Each structure stands twice: as structure tokens, then as C-alpha cells.
Amino acid sequence: MLLSSEDHSRIIEMAWEDRTPFEAIEHCYGLSEVGVIRLMRRSLKSSSFRMWRKRVSGRRNKHLQLRPAVVNRGFAPGQYKHR
């Protein structure tokens, strides 16, 4: 799969966000969780990748099946304020 630099950057941003589930990335870009992990491994420094994996591994919000029902959005309320 060939991604534009903007899509590549946006996928990395979405992967770092706590409330964006892997299923949302797959829906938008067709990239599964395994694909996101591979992209992150290739794109980040090894220490940044390890920090991201440690952070994501324990997150219920990154998987829709594990996500509490009260979480119904993929971003924090103040994240996309108009500038």
C-alpha cells in the first residue's frame, strides 16, 4: 500500500492519540493493527517505538471491543479547536 506523506503522518498521529482506536485507522486508511505497528516500527526511532508500544499495549481505548461504552468519540474535546 502506497501512502502519501500526509496520510503517513496522519496515521502516526492517530496511532499516538489515546482515544483513536485501531479500527478507526483501518476504516480510514485500510491499515490493520498489525500494519499500523509495522508502519510505526519503520517510521519511529527504536526508543520511540518501544515507548509507543508500551503505551498502547495497556490501552482499552485503542480497541473498540475493549472500550467502555461511555467513550463514544475518537478525540479529546479540546483537541480540534479552531485556530
**pLDDT reported for residue 83:** 46
Q: What is the mean pLDDT of the chain?
A: 81
Distances, alpha carbon 23 to alpha carbons 3, 29, 47, 82, 83, in Å: 18, 10, 25, 26, 28
pTM beyond cutoff 0.85: no
**pLDDT reported for residue 38:** 96
C-alpha cell read off for 27: 476504516
Number of H helices, E strands in the chain: 4, 0
- Phi then psi for residue 74, to 5 deg, are -105, 15
Place of cell 474535546: 77
